[in-house]
Structure 1
Amino acid sequence: MPTPVVDVWGGVSPEPRSAIPSAPEPHDEWPLDGGTAWVYYSPLNRRQLIRPVILSDGFSSGGSELDRLWNGLEENGDFRFISELHATGRDVIILGYNDRTASIKDNADTAIDCIRRALAERVGRSKLVVGGFSMGGLVTRYALAKMEQDPTLPDHETALHLSYDSPHHGGWLPVSLQGFIHFATDHFGEDPIVGQFIRLFSGLLNSPAAKQMARWYIAKADDTPAPASERVEFLRELDELGGWPRNVRRIGVANGVDTGTGNGIKPDVTAVRGDGTTLQDTWLKTQGQGDRVVARLQKKGGQPTEVRTSGLPEIDGAPGGLFTLPLPDGSDPGSFGLAGLLMRGLRNTVDEGGIPTSCFIPSVSAVAAGDIDDQKALYAPITPDRSELDAFLCAGRNEGHTTMTEELGAWIVNEIVATA
């Protein structure tokens, strides 16, 4: 079984590690408290920081990787985001973290350190553009809001905050999959073939950042889904900071549509089933409304465990950015496909049911236009008056989370030019 490259919840590159070319040498590199900033000056600015644009990495395993970030922004989509920003005279600062699973608040302090360094290095008085991809949009949102409220911190001098498919109102990881990961950790975490991968995904699921982001979380397979205490505390503290930075223009994009049209995944159907050497009639279903058994988990010869939900919406099929899981061989099993991959690694026969993945960041969350626990809001057309953003754009189709496209990337560049 190949070693996974877990840029699932925030990395912008869908390429396998072995296929990623090296990024160009940055013009400058700033060691930060908790991370690193890689600086690429616009060719128009003669190696001076004149119009800074800070782009934050998001959630993933381990530390940020410049090669992966560069290629996701510049090489892997159909739009060369950094080159286009450089052509407008903007200097690009790619912000990475030592631990992308750390608390959003901890990485927000690293973002603040980066902003302060950018202000110190800046030539002239042009205001900053600050934002990020996936959770990076939430990290920088918190950082700017904190800088406005904390009298010990300087003025952030930022004109625009941008977010790219960020979980402003929470993200979705199927409760059935969460239950399976907990079950697999308990029973097969030391398996000689796939144990290390099970522990890796368990660590991601149970990390501070994942708990803060996930709208529903379970700590064990038979738990009742609810926001984790870490999320409740984070939202309370964000609200105490005003919720958003107040003195900046707020823009965002979604990798899902704004028409209310879902991705075609039906609710309450079996997405993956495994049976064989180590598992017995173990299956995961897509999320349905009402009281549902969304997973049946059984070790061969053991007692079955049921994963139950009540009152959740049909969110697997909702409009939004799709859960992606790039692997080194170039494949992308998706959310339910991950369960199938682990089932096979545990030496079982697997029926994947034609449903490899699910919605990850609903469009209403990415553009802060509705609660993702609201069935009607998830599937309703999104209008500007519903959003907490000053301007937003949703994709023309439901596509992979943080996919860089000309449609979304060019819109952001135009907004930056018009604002900062």
Structure 2
Amino acid sequence: MSKPVVSIWGPLPGAQPAAAGTDPWDTKWELRDGTAWVFYSSSDQMAVRRPVILADGFAMGGSNGHVLYDGLENGDYPFISTLRENGFDVILLGFENRSASIIDNAGVAIECIRRTIADREGNAPLAVGGFSMGGMVTRYALAKMERQKEDHQTATYLSYDTPHRGAWLPLGVQAFAHFVKDKWGDTNPLLSLYSDLVNSPAARQMLRWHVATAAEVTLDVADGQDRERTEFLAALDRLGGWPLRPRLLGVANGTGTGIGNSIPADDTAIAAHGPKTTAQLRTQGQGKQTVAQIAQARQSPITINTTGFPELDGAPGGLFPKAPLLEDAANFGMAAVLAALVNGQKAELTHNTSTFVPTVSAVASAHIDDHTALYAKVNPEESDLHDLLCATSNEGHTVMTSDLGQWIVAKLREA
């Protein structure tokens, strides 16, 4: 799998940062609670002329300009240099805290838009968007500016595998992360990392279903939305839901054909049997199902039960990113890592990753609660976006591909 633009994991505790080397950007703007790295299209420039603002996504800690640039430029498609060759000035927007509230980071995006307009030479309109959560941040920012009658001078909004209709993280994985932190989190920072990530403000706002603690629970498909998500969606709705002035573009790292990733429903994903904890986590299926049984040694298990959920793990969509510093563990894989750290022996891992942002969420065409819609062919006429493109296969979340990158560049040239 190619490396994603956005690393969900960020710097892991104890990890040593790689040497940065030469900065690839032309200048850097320090913003309140964020940073913008600016790449001019021409070496003779002292100001932006045709600006494209692209916001970083959800992860641990703060944005790293080198990492963000590397994911965009040194993968399958050299996105930044292609934009520059076509006369665009690229502004990569980073956040001091990528797991902070989307609304708070929208303030950083608004500051960046204002700075861009003030710095711009000429009157070419802006293109503004982002990757994953960055698409939600900029969507909110543009809508808020319009609501406040502030001219954002943006002709194009762009989202890249953004969870417009919510993201998915298996409920058993969430519960197990909290269980491990509660029991052993004070012994090793890694044992608290995943739980803290799941319970961060941005995760609560993006996840369609959220589990905050390791407690016995039975969820119907209509339940499980965190209050922070409910309040965020209400705030977005008060702004009109979307910015009205720009053309709305979006791409998905999942297929638009309805073909999933072949992960079977209601199948064992992790089996851990050790001296301190046992865990049985299963992929999400339909009907009534026990998706997780978790226990401390010689104690009764906690069960996580669901009713009426779609087969979300195998659905078309962008796959949950892997953590290179943890042997490419993804969501189920990270739960296996936690179990191994606690027990001192490996867990049985059948499925490492699963769908993170379903295609219909990334292109805002249907709700992910509906199994039929989740696996149906995308109908562009049902999307809130004006134009969209889906990947030809289910790829890693925010992976920059030639197909998606070329389409974006072509659409920006049309503006």
For normalisation by structure 2, the TM-score amounts to 0.93
Name the residue aligned to 1:212.
205
Q: Which moved more, 1:31-40 or 1:128-137?
A: 31-40
State the secondary structure of the residue aligned to 2:117: helix
C-alpha distance in 2 between matches for 1:22 and 1:256: 34
179, 183, 186: which one pairs with 1:183? Answer: 179
1:63-114 Cα distance to aligned partner (Å, 9 max, x none): 1001110100101x21000000001110010100011111000000100000
Q: 1:332 to 1:181 in 2, by over 3 A?
A: same
User: What is the aligned residue count?
Assistant: 403
Instruction: Determine whether 1:319 maps to 2:324.
Output: no
Name the residue aligned to 2:27.
28
1:8-407 aligned at under 5 Å gives the runs: 8-9=7-8, 22=21, 24-43=23-42, 46-75=45-74, 77-151=75-149, 154-191=150-187, 195-221=188-214, 222-223=216-217, 224=219, 226-280=224-278, 282-328=279-325, 331-407=327-403
C-alpha displacement at 1:347, in angstroms?
2.3
1:326-384 Cα distance to aligned partner (Å, 9 max, x none): 2336x311111111111111125444343111000000000001000110010000021
C-alpha displacement at 1:389, in angstroms?
0.5
Contact 2:6–2:56 (8 Å) recurs in 1: no
Contact 2:9–2:323 (8 Å) recurs in 1: no
Letter matched to residue 60 of structure 1: A
State the secondary structure of the residue aligned to 1:271: strand
State the secondary structure of the residue aligned to 1:216: coil
1:14-57 Cα distance to aligned partner (Å, 9 max, x none): xx976686463422211112101111111266233100000100
Identity %: 49
Letter matched to residue 151 of structure 2: D
1:259-304 Cα distance to aligned partner (Å, 9 max, x none): 0001000111110010112113x21000011221100001112221
Contact 2:339–2:347 (8 Å) recurs in 1: no
User: Could you list the runs of 5+ residues in structure 1 that have no partner in the other structure?
Assistant: none
Q: 1:289 to 1:105 in 2, by over 3 A?
A: same
Contact 1:44–1:89 (8 Å) recurs in 2: no
C-alpha distance in 2 between matches for 1:190 and 1:304: 22
State the secondary structure of the residue aligned to 1:328: helix
Contact 1:262–1:317 (8 Å) recurs in 2: yes
C-alpha distance in 2 between matches for 1:384 and 1:406: 21
C-alpha distance in 2 between matches for 1:188 and 1:391: 48
C-alpha distance in 2 between matches for 1:338 and 1:45: 47
Q: 1:33 to 1:122 in 2, by over 3 A?
A: same
Letter matched to residue 339 of structure 1: A
C-alpha displacement at 1:132, in angstroms?
0.4
Q: 1:368 to 1:393 in 2, by over 3 A?
A: same
Q: Which moved more, 1:141-150 or 1:177-186?
A: 177-186
C-alpha distance in 2 between matches for 1:32 and 1:259: 41
Runs of 4+ in 1 over 3 A off after TM superposition: 5-11, 16-23, 348-353
C-alpha distance in 1 between matches for 2:21 and 2:375: 41
State the secondary structure of the residue aligned to 2:189: helix
Letter matched to residue 215 of structure 1: R
C-alpha distance in 1 between matches for 2:52 and 2:16: 26
Contact 1:9–1:134 (8 Å) recurs in 2: no
The alignment yields a C-alpha RMSD, in angstroms, of 1.9
C-alpha displacement at 1:10, in angstroms?
8.9
Contact 1:111–1:140 (8 Å) recurs in 2: yes
User: Could you list the runs of 5+ residues in structure 2 that have no partner in the other structure?
Assistant: none
C-alpha distance in 1 between matches for 2:22 and 2:268: 42
C-alpha distance in 2 between matches for 1:112 and 1:352: 46
Q: 1:206 to 1:93 in 2, by over 3 A?
A: same
C-alpha distance in 2 between matches for 1:138 and 1:415: 20
Letter matched to residue 108 of structure 2: T
Letter matched to residue 299 of structure 1: Q
Letter matched to residue 71 of structure 1: D
Contact 2:6–2:398 (8 Å) recurs in 1: no
C-alpha displacement at 1:407, in angstroms?
0.7
C-alpha distance in 1 between matches for 2:359 and 2:375: 9
Contact 2:8–2:60 (8 Å) recurs in 1: no
C-alpha distance in 2 between matches for 1:255 and 1:139: 19
